[in-house]
Amino acid sequence: MIKAEIELLAPAGKWDVMVAAVAAGADAVYLGGKRFNMRMLRPEYNFSDSELRDACEYLHQRSKKLYITVNNLYYQAELEELQDYLVFINDIGADAVIIQDLAIAQLHKELNLQIPIHASVQMGIANGAAAALLEEWGFSRAILSKNLSLQEIKDIHHSTRLSIEYFAHGDLCVSHAGQCYMSSFMAGESGNRGRCLKPCRWPYSVANGIPAGEMKYYLAHNDLCLVNHIQDLIEAGVASFKIEGRMRGAEYIAHLITCYREALDNAINKQGEGALAAHSRLEENKIRDFCTGNLYGRPEIDAIGLSGAREPVFISTALRLERLKTDDFEHRPITLEKSGQLSVKLHDPRVIPELLSPELETVIMEWEGIRQLKGQKSFGRIQEAARQLEGLNTGLVVELPRIVAQNDLPDIRIALENIRGINVLAVMVNDYGSLKLARDYGYNIWGGYGLNLSNTAAAGFLLNNGLKRLTISPELDAGRIKDILNCQSPVELEMMVHGPCAV
């Protein structure tokens, strides 16, 4: 039975866009302030504090809802101002705050705020265990990862009482939300800070099998358009249909909302013809070509705009990347302080005997192969590592994958069950679903860099939820790492000092 209380959620970066979205049929609007949100590259966009207050009044007078994005990762030095900002948003009566950083959840609790919390898509919520944990933590809604199939969305809906929000239209990133560091590492502008220069929209040449100099847009994903699939999504449990585009103009957003309003109303009334008409009008005014993302299967090459012909004029210019040479690296010996401890992350356990030393506290065995090899086939490496370390003072930590979708959960459970029989110091997790499962199995838990730890408030929140050690985000520079260390984090901290970091 389709519920009538389905929400169409519109973006707004300026006042006139908000007004146009409401007039076109939006049920709610999400927008950000001049501080602390994910769309910070263009100063003429976003709402001042007084405009936020006025927007809340304007929308409530029309029985519409306002969700305010506070969806960056935050540095230690920002926490005090962030507290004041959260109190302000709570006091003006906004209907929810959309967050990525668990520092907000911690401050929300400490300040005894009443405003509901929605989990941003940047949190990478891609499985039912993660959704269940958010519900336990007091969240009221999860904006699910865009990288899910229809069946996975349905399964997540059945595993939680959280309201489910899903992007129906807009830009798609080639990476999983919250886990892309390309802009940060290449240009010093973090996508997790709302500063993404979108290097995935640049042309690249590939060395193997491609003629020298031929450039193509290998990472440029087509735009998501699910207007023809509203009925399926409603039946899967989606309660809020989100339109992307906080940097778009009023005319463009009003057109999108009008089309999706028609399709949504027809779906609720079980009249399918409206979606086809809406899709036709969207096709006539599209920027990039459209695709359905992961909804009905993994995207193929036709979901990438290889030619770049439909790429709009963009905010950044491609940088020429040179292949690194041996003399580009400055080799420095690692000097450990008396309190310092050394961990080594491995894939192949056969090298362990060559690494053993009094300074080696832990061997971290990555188990990314759970997703590709389906758990049991790659378990032998973990067993071999445990055998190599048996009777030694060096502990074994098993690291679970950075990305865990709903379909991966059975294999994560099998993996956690398998390692019960070996001597494991801790399980390292990179997503919230793995955190919940590892906690339920009773393991000591460490947090990997996939959790994007950037401040002690988030560290405190995770400590209170069972984590014993956390890896500092690889995006932080030396000064911001020192800021965290100087505040005496309530949980043990680890940082990556050498090795590959997936972007």
Confidence at residue 274, expressed as pLDDT on a 0 to 100 scale: 67
Confidence at residue 376, expressed as pLDDT on a 0 to 100 scale: 53
Give the C-alpha distances (Å, rounded to integers) separating 446 from 105, 367, 396.
19, 14, 12
Provide the token pair at 486.
């100087």
Q: Tens digits of per-residue pLDDT, 45-54?
A: 999 999 999 9
Which long-range contacts (C-beta less than 8 Å, at least 24 apart) are formed by 472-475?
473/73, 473/192, 473/449, 474/181, 474/449, 474/501, 475/73, 475/181, 475/184, 475/190, 475/192
Q: Are 305 and 311 in contact (CB under 8 A)?
A: yes
Give the C-alpha distances (Å, rounded to integers) separating 246 from 343, 464, 499.
42, 35, 36
Beta strands in 389-475 (DSSP E): 395-399, 426-429, 445-447, 467-471
Ordered by where they begin, the domains of the chain are 7-303 (3.20.20.70), 326-494 (3.20.20.380)
Confidence at residue 208, expressed as pLDDT on a 0 to 100 scale: 65
Confidence at residue 336, expressed as pLDDT on a 0 to 100 scale: 45
Q: Write out residues in the chain with pLDDT < 70, as ranges.
A: 1-4, 40-41, 208-213, 271-274, 315, 321, 329-340, 371-377, 502-503
Q: Which amino acid is at 312?
A: P
Burial classification of residue 246, based on how many CB atoms lie within 10 Å of its CB (0-12 exposed, 13-18 middle, 19 or more buried): buried
> Whole-angstrom Cα distance, residue 181 to residue 184?
5
Confidence at residue 338, expressed as pLDDT on a 0 to 100 scale: 45
> Whole-angstrom Cα distance, residue 422 to residue 419?
5
Confidence at residue 326, expressed as pLDDT on a 0 to 100 scale: 78
Q: Are 47 and 31 in contact (CB under 8 A)?
A: yes
> Whole-angstrom Cα distance, residue 452 to residue 111?
23
Helix (H, G, I), strand (E, B) or coil at 87: helix
Element (H, E) at 112: none
Round to the nearest angstrom and report the end-to-end CA distance of the chain.
42
Q: Are 243 and 260 in contact (CB under 8 A)?
A: yes
Give the C-alpha distances (Å, rounded to integers) separating 300 from 69, 145, 166, 190, 296.
32, 18, 21, 28, 11
> Whole-angstrom Cα distance, residue 220 to residue 437?
35
Element (H, E) at 360: strand 360-366
Task: Look up the pTM and report it.
Answer: 0.93
Confidence at residue 212, expressed as pLDDT on a 0 to 100 scale: 60
Instruction: Give the CA radius of gyration of the chain.
Output: 23
Provide the token pair at 120.
């941003």
Contacts of 308 (CB under 8 A, 6+ apart): 203, 216, 217, 220
Confidence at residue 421, expressed as pLDDT on a 0 to 100 scale: 87
Burial classification of residue 479, based on how many CB atoms lie within 10 Å of its CB (0-12 exposed, 13-18 middle, 19 or more buried): exposed
